[in-house]
Amino acid sequence: MLTIKNLHAQVEDTPILKGLNLEIGPGEVHAIMGPNGSGKSTLASVLAGREDYEVTRGSVDFCGADLLDMDASVRAREGLFLAFQYPVEIPGVSNLNFMKAAINGKREHQGLEPISAKDFLALVKEKSALVELAGRLRDRSVNEGFSGGEKKRNEIFQMAMLEPTLAILDETDSGLDIDALRIVSQGVNAMRDAGRSFLVITHYQRLLDHIVPDVVHVLSEGKIVKSGPKELALELEEKGYDWIKEPAV
Amino acid sequence: MSQSSAVQDFVANVQAPEGALASLAQEGQEGLDVLPVPTRKSERWKYSPITAMLAHPVALAPAPDGWPADVEPNPVPGLEAYRIVLVNGHVVPEACDLPVADGVVCMPWRHAVDEGHLANFDWSGYHRREWVGALHAAYVQDGMFLHVDKGVTLDRPVLVHHHTTGDHTAACPRHRIVVEDQAHAEVILWHSASSGATGMVNGVLEASLGAGARLGLDKVQHEEGEVFHLAHEHVTQGKDSTFRIHSMTVKGHWVRNELNVVQQGQGAHTIMHGAYLPKDREHVDNHTTMDHTVPNCTSSELYKGILYDRSTGVFNGKVFVRQEAQLTNAYQQNANIVADAGASINAKPELEIYADDVKCSHGCTVGQFDDEALFYLKSRGIGDKAARALMVQAFIGDVLEGMSQEEVAQEVETLLADRHGWS
């Protein structure tokens, strides 16, 4: 589904990713952990198509197509989703108009008619209940006046609405209390299936108690330096990152 | 100060009005001789010199042969309104639909002058102050006269539609609205122009509101062609009255809107909202003056602009709080997005506060589109153009929402969507 080969990327003139390789198969959940500054969020931004990031080398294949060649909106229409670490407030744009435009953008890309008002509202009702946001979205601007937890739940709501093939969760657990963490995780778990993959970027092991990964990777200085089963996350929690940063023996 | 020869040429072909208006026209003529022609040297006209307008002589157009077949007299689908329509400053009676009701007088402005409705009227003095005001007065034409008696509410809004057509046309429409105590009227001012039209529209509107009166104006400028549009609105408000204007410049080659509101009675409330979205090399200038002269009044001013391509904009918002005007609550906000590197805005809030127990706040911003918000929208599969459209609609949404006639707001949005490719 996703094959990243020797990815190098920089912001302005500072190289951040320095030869990253990663392969995610359909239905798999991969976690990426690593210390601050290791390039976790840069990886998410590069994959989602943020413009300030320049890819200098390497390739990213997404379901057989060259991901790096696509505009951010096309990546989304092709089934990529990024749950933002800091969801953006957009005053004046209603949550529902926003989601409707997103869904219709995708449907147009697939050669489908725009969604009917009735189907759209039914979908909103179903998916917002999933993250316990029912009734909180109507008549409100995108993320405006939402608490930190609500913003993250709104990210998962949007993910559920758009049904991506690959979802990248960029530190979705940051700033969440234990209840919000549970709600967000339930939302994610409800969407796990054989055709959908997840890339979970996190600093802490606690999210991975709820969203159990198939593989855990450690990112350090722009490269994946270690990969292992879910138990690796526990080990990292216990020992920190320093032991991995040492050159492999 | 003498006029340059260019200015003499500019007005040489214009015929001055006669009859009851002769004295106003005479004062206008005198003003043309003594008042300075606006140039960049004058602070009020620094960013909107009229040099380009003066480069081509204009002439009043003859009375039209009926309403033009290719223009809708009512440009707003679904709008239920009375109607008074003008072409090049001439009322076209057969295309009008004037209200007939007890306590309401609505007729062409020229008739009202002839019938003596403006006999004791104190002309606002614009023509004694400004050269363009003198120009207007010297060649004043026709417009709407509306008088609503005490306690009367007009059952439908009145649409005043002015259409400009032809080459190097001069049009000087003038309107007068009187809303007596506790009366209520809603008026839509719609300006259109044919593609290929050139010349000048130099219009004046005077309105006065009695105690507890309410007047709302939805003003829309949607002019094709290359017309220089000078608008001057002068409003006086009595005790506990409410005046509202929403001024939307959808399209216009060169626009200068001057809006002066004077609160003369305690408890008056004023709403001045506007939006402008010029593109190409268009120019839009909004000069407003909010004059608080008595205690316990409020005002809320909000102008929003998005400037594309190589367009230029001006916002100059003056707020006076006179010494007597204690407990004034005045709010002013001007927000601009400069969408392209070649566009520019000159924004200038001016507050002059002479009273000491007042609440005045103002803000002025000039910025670009929020890249982070754009990326957020795009990351959900919304294309660049649609994402920008959503943000623009959100930006001017609070101005559009306040218009009293939903059909007018809807039509403005449709015109903007067509023009900017949002749909």
Question: Chain A residues contacting B, CB < 8 Å?
Answer: 48-51, 71-73, 75-77, 81-82, 84, 87-88, 90-93, 97-99, 101-103, 105-106, 109, 141-142, 158, 162
pLDDT at B118: 86
Find chain A residues with C-beta within 8 A of B371's C-beta: 51
pLDDT tens readout for residues B205-214: 999 999 999 9
Q: Has residue B373 got a pLDDT over 90?
A: yes
Helix (H, G, I), strand (E, B) or coil at A55: strand
**Number of structural domains chain B divides into:** 3
Find chain A residues with C-beta within 8 A of B398's C-beta: 92
Distance (Å, rounded) from C-alpha A78 to C-alpha A2? 12
Q: Are residues B5 and B94 in the same domain?
A: yes
Note whether residue B55 is domain-resident.
yes
Contact B380 A84 (CB under 8 A): no
Note whether residue B352 is domain-resident.
yes
pLDDT tens readout for residues B400-411: 999 999 999 999
Note whether residue B242 is domain-resident.
no
Best A53, A88, A100, A162 residue to mutate vs chain B (most B CBs within 10 Å): A88
Note whether residue B110 is domain-resident.
yes
pLDDT at A240: 84
CB of B205 closer than 8 Å to CB of B236 = no
Contact A77 B373 (CB under 8 A): no
Q: Are residues B411 and B389 in the same domain?
A: yes
pLDDT at B14: 58
pLDDT at A241: 84
pLDDT tens readout for residues B213-230: 999 999 999 999 999 999
Q: Has residue B92 got a pLDDT over 70?
A: yes
pLDDT at A36: 87
**Domain architecture of chain A: domains with CATH:** 27-44+72-245 (3.40.50.300)
Q: Greater confidence, A176 or B93?
A: B93
Between the alpha carbon of residue B163 and those of residues A211, B64, B120, B176, B317, the distances in Å are: 65, 11, 30, 18, 28
**Partner-chain residue, chosen from A51, A93, A106, that has the shortest CB–CB distance to B381:** A106
Q: Are residues B148 and B58 in the same domain?
A: yes
Task: Say whether residue B151 is in contact with chain A using an 8 A CB cutoff.
Answer: no
Find chain A residues with C-beta within 8 A of B376's C-beta: 84, 87-88, 90, 142
Contact B379 A87 (CB under 8 A): no
Note whether residue B248 is domain-resident.
no
**Which stretches in chain A have pLDDT values below 50?**
248-249
Task: Say whether residue B417 is in contact with chain A using an 8 A CB cutoff.
Answer: no
Note whether residue B144 is domain-resident.
yes
pLDDT at B19: 72
Contact A73 B397 (CB under 8 A): no
- Residue B23's pLDDT band, with cuts at 50, 70 and 90, is confident
Contact B390 A93 (CB under 8 A): yes
User: B293: alpha, beta or left, given left = phi > 0 and alpha = psi -120 to 50?
Assistant: alpha
Q: What phi and psi, each to the nearest 5 degrees, are found at residue B328?
A: -70, 145
pLDDT at B225: 96
Find chain B residues with C-beta within 8 A of A90's C-beta: 370, 373, 376-377, 391, 394
CB of A100 closer than 8 Å to CB of A138 = no
- Tokens (6 digits) for B280: 């190409």
Q: Is A69 exposed, middle or buried (0-12, 13-18, 19+ CB in 10 A)?
A: exposed
Q: Are residues B361 and B396 in the same domain?
A: no
Q: Are residues B21 and B104 in the same domain?
A: yes
Q: Are residues B7 and B142 in the same domain?
A: yes
CA-CA-CA-CA dihedral for B246, B251, B255, B258, to nearest 10: 0
Q: Are residues B18 and B136 in the same domain?
A: yes
Q: What phi and psi, each to the nearest 5 degrees, are found at residue B332?
A: -140, 135
Q: Are residues B52 and B168 in the same domain?
A: yes
Range of the domain at B313: 275-368
Distance (Å, rounded) from C-alpha B62 to C-alpha A161? 62
- Which residue on chain B is closest to A76 by alpha carbon? B381
Q: Are residues B352 and B384 in the same domain?
A: no
Q: Are residues B28 and B87 in the same domain?
A: yes
Q: Are residues B170 and B292 in the same domain?
A: no
Q: Are residues B152 and B296 in the same domain?
A: no
Q: Has residue B3 got a pLDDT over 70?
A: no
Distance (Å, rounded) from C-alpha A73 to C-alpha B372? 14
Task: Say whether residue B386 is in contact with chain A using an 8 A CB cutoff.
Answer: yes
